[in-house]
Amino acid sequence: MTVLAALCGAFMPRSAQGDAAAIGVQRVTVQGGASIYRDVCQGCHMPGGRGAAGAGAFPALAGNSRLEAAAYPISMVLNGHGGMPWFNGVLSDVQIADVVNFVRTHFGNNYRDAATPGDVAAQRGPAPTMER
Ligand code: HEC
């Protein structure tokens, strides 16, 4: 998974992906997993992490077994995927660890092996092309 994430980060053309800056998110200053979730993630993943289906399909984070290995949500937040914007350069290692740990321990998820900022740093690829 880590290798895959590194490859995606290195080779995926950034311009073809969602850009967090394009949806008005720039250098988020709010701290703490719950607050970051509310301000940055909830607009798509909805309160309670229940997700949404319809014009935009946003996967539920509630009761989501794909959050078991922290490397996966870390990679999603850093690199984005499909309609999920990337937050490399927008959220710090601490902020990403905090919000990943928040979603992994809320909404019916109970994955207590906390990700650290060092885990995020280890997965953070080359600097994105967007302005930092
Ligand atoms: C602009 C809307 C949007 C925002 C903001 C957003 N996401 Fe997502 N997210 C998505 C979409 C769409 C997907 C599905 C992407 C795909 O696989 O094609 C997704 C997928 C995910 C997944 C993988 C879920 C799975 O079952 O595979 C995780 C984890 C995730 N997002 C976490 C977050 C976190 C944490 C934040 C806040 C830092 C966030 N997202 C912000 C739209 C968003």
Q: Is the CB of 63 under 6 A from ligand 1?
A: no
> What's the pLDDT score for residue 22?
61
Which residues in the chain land under pLDDT 70? 1-26, 126-132
Q: How far is CA 88 from CA 9, 48, 64, in A?
A: 10, 24, 23
Q: What pLDDT does 81 receive?
A: 94
Nearest residue to 107 via CA among 48, 58, 42, 46:
48
Ligand 1 atom 27 nearest Cα: 66
Q: Ligand 1: does its nearest atom lie under 6 Å from the Cβ of 103?
A: yes
What local confidence, expressed as pLDDT, does residue 21 receive?
Answer: 60
Q: Is 82 in the pocket of ligand 1 (CB under 6 A)?
A: yes
Residue to mutate, 68, 76, 98, 120, ligand 1, most ligand atoms under 8 Å from C-beta: 76
- What is the tens place of the pLDDT at every residue in 99-109? 999 999 999 99
- pLDDT on residue 54: 86
**Predicted pLDDT of residue 89:** 87
Measured in angstroms, how far is the CA atom of residue 103 from the centroid of ligand 1?
11
The per-residue pLDDT for 24 is 60
> For the stretch 41-56, what's the b/e string if a residue is b when 16 or more beta carbons lie within 10 angstroms of its beta carbon?
beebbeeebebeeeee
Cβ of 20 less than 6 Å from ligand 1: no
What's the length of the chain? 132
